[in-house]
Amino acid sequence: MVTKTPKYPKPKSPQVVEEDANGTVLLERRTQRTGPPSMYQVVMLNDDYTPMEFVVMVIQEFFGKDLETSTQIMLKIHLDGRGVCGVYSRDIAATKVDQVMDAASKAGHPLQCISEPVEQ
C-alpha cells in the first residue's frame, strides 16, 4: 500500500491582511525578538583629594572586588585619570553610580563616578 505525504498549507507571511465575515480587517501579530540589553561601564574619575584607601574600600563594597583587584583598579584611576569598575545594564550601572556618589558625599570626598555606554 502506497501512501502519499500529507500536504500542509503554507504558512502565511507575518504581514498578511485578512477580513473576517463582518469586513473587519485583521492583521497577524509579528513575533518580536528582543536583543540583549545595552551595557554600560561604571567609571571612576581621579581627583587629588580622595584618599586611595577610600577608593579601594568603595570598589570592594559596591563592586564586589577583592583587595588585590580593587587596588589595581584604584592605581589605574590614579595613573590614567579614570578606571572601569564594572560593566552592567543601564539601571544597575546608574544604581552603582548613585551608591558611590552617596558614599563619597557622606564621607566628605569629591570622588566622581559616571556610567557610559560600552562601545561594541
Percent of the chain at pLDDT exceeding 90: 68
> Domain locations in the chain?
39-117
Range with lowest mean pLDDT among 15-29, 67-81, 86-100: 15-29
Indicate if the pLDDT at residue 66 is higher than 90: yes
The predicted pLDDT at position 98 comes to 98
Q: Confidence class of residue 83 from pLDDT cuts 50, 70 and 90?
A: very high
> What confidence tens digit (pLDDT) does each residue in 67-76 have?
999 999 999 9
For 10, list phi and psi in degrees, rounded to 5: -70, 140
Q: Is pLDDT of 26 > 80?
A: no
Q: What's the confidence (pLDDT) of residue 21?
A: 72
Written as one string, the DSSP assignment of 22-51 is: T--EEEPPPP----PPPEEEEEEE--SSS-
Is domain 39-117 in CATH 3.40.50.1110, yes or no?
A: no
Write down the pLDDT at residue 12.
Answer: 54
In terms of pTM, does the model score above 0.95? no
pLDDT at 10 over 90: no
Indicate if the alpha-carbon torsion angle 16, 19, 20, 25 is positive or negative: positive
* Amino acid (1-letter code) at residue 9: P
Reduced to 3 states (helix: H, G, I; strand: E, B; else coil), residue 97 is helix
